[in-house]
Structure 1
Amino acid sequence: MSTLPVNRVDSLPADALPPGGGLASPTPVRWGDGALVGLFAIALIGLLKAASAVLVPISAALVLTFVFAPVVRRLRRHGIHEAAGAGIVVVALIATTLLAFSSLAGPATQWWERAPTTLAQLMDRFDHLRIGSRNEGQRETGGPIPPARSGAASATPPQALPSDSIKEQLATEGVALTRVVIGRLLFFCVSAAATVILLYFLLASEHWVVSRSVEAIPRRRSRALFLGGLRSVQREISHFLSSLALVNFGVGLAMIVATWWLGLPNPVLWGTVSGALNFIPYLGPIIASALLLMAGIVTFDTLPAMMAPAAALLIVHGIESNFISPFFVGKRLSLSPVSMCLSVMCWGWLWGMAGAVMAVPILVAARAVCKRRRSLRLWHVYMEGSVRPASSLRALLRGKHRAETQRLA
């Protein structure tokens, strides 16, 4: 047999090389597949963004179906048909929501009517605090303090001109702001009506849809996996949201008591706002604290009293997030803080406030799906929170090297 030159091996066909020897050809990198995946992801994000008016009611109805479907099944076991049970659940949900809105409509309308005046008062308070701090600094450094002007000059200080222009701008743009609010309110009403109607049909036909879906799967093992995964997602979302609702109800009650004790008007409104915004991780308490801070600045005169309502919310939220929520939610449903923050940011950017509210239920469902799929276990690790301390990288590398050595031996 003639020996082939080494530099001519690359020119040989693949079948000319021996099966167990020769040069191993590298696996080609399929850039086309990666580009298709990237284009598909971009198109999917664009679709989620463009079709938010349709997808938000559907997603909200699905999340609520996961929460209330066990109630309908329990009613069915007691002899109540699915349609009647779904009607009972939907009517109870609508009645509770309307009762809450009717009790809060009066205080919310008062604060909304006072919004231009409130903003003007905030500007005046900030100007007063800024001028007072500047004069105090000049007293401490021994610098000259500008004397107070008399007559017409003192009646119209230079600092009043920006505030007057802002007040005029707020007055001229009030009609446009009201038009935008009315448009948003009409859109919210239409989306809420679509969500309620779809929720009723999903609850009434949940058993039929699940049974037909299981029947369409040919293999018995696949049927068991599908039904087990669906019930797992439903159970985890229901338990998580019910526990979170109970915790946020306690936050609302605590803020009602705190704002009433501090003397802030409409304590029921502020407690409800604090409890409702607490459904949004991280961003919700920040927004509620900012609102309470503005209400305190408008209502009170001293700096400690102005900051007291926002400080009370931060204290209540700290106790809730560190002690109460871990006890009620449990370690089994704990989520990674990074994954929760990213989920709120992404879904809030896609669907606004509704997406931020549904970000955590969507994350819980995605984690349950990744937990049952072996190919997605790595994503489940990133989504799941854990109190167990992570091993050092050196120990992990040493363990990997030891396992590789044992495998080769």
Structure 2
Amino acid sequence: MDELRVIKNLLFFVSALMTIAVLYVARDLFLPIMIGFLIALTLSPVVRSLARLGIPEALSAVTLVLGAGLVLALGSYMISGPVAELLADVPEMGNELRRKLRGVLVSIEEISTASERVEDLATGSDSTPQVALQQPGLLAFAAGSIANFAVLVGVGLVLALFILSSGDLFYVKLVQAFPNYAEKRRAVRTARDVERQISRYFLTILMINAGLGVCIGVAMYLTGLPNPILWGVVAFSLNFVPYIGAVCGAVLVAAFGVLSFDTLGAGLLPAAIYFSLTLIEGQFVTPTVLGRRLEMNPVAVFMTVIIWSWLWSIPGALMAVPFLVLFKVICDNVPALSVVGNFLGTRGANDTV
């Protein structure tokens, strides 16, 4: 019996490693599929509600998906100009930032130089000439990355369109896949719960992030930071990544604030406001609006963001929490996985040590 348990655990471990390897290698294949399914899960309750009002599912699906695509395209077009200007000015801004932070950078450089000298004494100096390879420009790299992500989102939207237009086809197939009535009922209940919770999570987070983006855009305008609309969009986008997104946004605002203002205090004020607003949103607004059921273990959330960022880079970081919500809802509806679902949730009223 013990040998069978060991073999079972080893097979599970090997399967998990193989799954991670496949997801990493074939991310360009799986990423648009995941985007499509997440969009479909988010919009499915809306399509079903419109169908009860007599609107055909295909028509509502086309309208919603095209509307989402147009909003994304319009938003991208509106910020493309400021983003291109900022990326083109990055070398000059880097020199200006180094000039303003010269005192701090000199101290860091002295420490680095001393460390290199100690390392040379320990290992011996290497006089072999180094060949520097010219790297592509930041603007070209960013344009290529954005174009690639836009293609993936476009494919995901088309897939979501087909899924939404099919109506209850997947539910019918799901019912047919189980042999008895009890399992059929549990499968449909789990699928409905997953759909409802994912839709609620996405639509709620979308509205919260939009509100945060507006607040930060207005705050940046009041502080005098250039391109306040761009910073509102940055806050809206980065806030989909818990913890890390707020820190990255504050660092970016701090860097541009130092460049835009004469004194260090005035330059860091926009970053302090940015971080304060994201802190209020993360600690009070989102937990209150989402409720206890969709609250997540912070450790599990942070680990999920790190893992998916490593697997799928920025798109993985953006979709890490939706994946976690999806997995938790499944665990809550499958008795065999209830322990995992309990671990992924926050501390409840009945939890004692």
Bin the TM-score by the shorter chain.
0.7 to 0.9
Rg (Cα) greater in structure: 1
Asked whether the 8 Å contact 1:86–1:204 carries over to 2, the reply is yes
Aligned pairs for 1:265-284 (under 5 A) are 265-284=226-245
Counterpart of 2:274, as a letter, is: L
Q: Is the 1:277–1:284 contact (alpha carbons within 8 Å) kept by the matching residues of 2? A: yes
Distance 2:208 2:53 in 1: 30
Q: Deviations over 1:304-347 (max 9, x none)?
A: 11111110111101211222112211112111111111111111
The code of the aligned residue for 1:73 comes to: R
Q: CA deviation at 1:229?
A: 0.2
Contact 2:87 2:139 survives alignment (8 Å): no
Q: CA deviation at 1:33?
A: 3.0
Identity %: 29
Distance 1:82 1:334, change over 3 A: same
RMSD: 2.1
- Give CA-to-partner distance per residue, 1:10-42, whole Å, 9 cap, x none: xxxxxxxxxxxxxxxxx4433333322222111
Q: Tell me which of 333, 341, 344 is aligned to 2:305.
A: 344
Flag structure 1 segments of 5+ consecutive residues without an equivalent: 1-26, 133-168, 393-409
- Where does residue 29 of structure 1 map in the other structure? 3
Q: Distance in 1 between matches of 2:24 and 2:210?
A: 32
Q: 1:280 to 1:305 in 2, by over 3 A?
A: same
Q: Shift of the alpha carbon at 1:178? A: 4.2
What is the CA distance between 1:390 and its match in structure 2? 4.2
Match of 2:188 in 1: 227
Q: Which residue of 1 aligns with 2:16?
A: 41
Alignment of 1:277-296 (within 5 A): 277-296=238-257
Matching residue of 2:60: 85
In the other structure, the counterpart of 1:243 is 204
Q: Secondary structure at the match of 1:343?
A: helix
| Matched length | 329
Does the 8 A contact of 1:345 with 1:356 survive in 2? Answer: yes
- What TM-score results when the alignment is normalised by the length of structure 2? 0.88
Shift of 1:215: 3.1
Q: Distance in 1 between matches of 2:225 and 2:182?
A: 60
- Give, as a single letter, the amino acid of the residue that structure 2 aligns with 1:263: G
Residue 370 of structure 1 and its aligned partner are, at CA, apart by: 0.9
Contact 1:334 1:386 in 2 (8 A): no
How much does 1:102 deviate?
1.9
* Partner SS state of residue 69, structure 1: helix
CA contact (8 A) 2:209 2:240 kept: yes
Deviation at 1:175, TM superposition (A): 4.4
Aligned-pair CA distance for 1:87: 0.5
Matches of residues 7-406 of structure 1 in structure 2 within 5 Å? 27-30=1-4, 31-127=6-102, 173=134, 175-388=136-349, 390-392=351-353
CA offsets per residue over residues 94-143 of structure 1, 9 Å max, x none? Answer: 111122112212211211111111111112122156679xxxxxxxxxxx
- What is the one-letter code of the residue matched to 2:51? R
Q: Deviation at 1:220?
A: 1.3
Q: Equivalents in 2 of 1:380, 1:131: separation in Å?
A: 50
Q: Secondary structure at the match of 1:29?
A: helix
For residues 186 and 322 of structure 1, do their structure 2 counterparts lie closer, same or farther at Cα, with a shift above 3 Å needed?
A: closer
Aligned residue type for 1:378? V
Q: Deviations over 1:254-280 (max 9, x none)?
A: 111110011001101001101210010
Amino acid at match of 2:176: E
- Unaligned residue ranges in structure 2 (runs of 5+): 108-131
Q: What is the CA deviation profile of residues 167-226 of structure 1, one whole-angstrom value per residue up to 9, with x for unaligned ones?
A: xx9xx9574444433432332232122112111111111412222321343311111111
Deviation readout 1:279-317 (Å, 9 max, x if unpaired):
100111011111101111111110111111110111101
Distance 1:210 1:188 in 2: 30
Q: Which has the higher contact order (CA 8 A, sep 6+)?
A: 2
How far, CA to CA, are the matches of 1:116 and 1:202 in structure 2? Answer: 45
Residue matched to 1:402: none
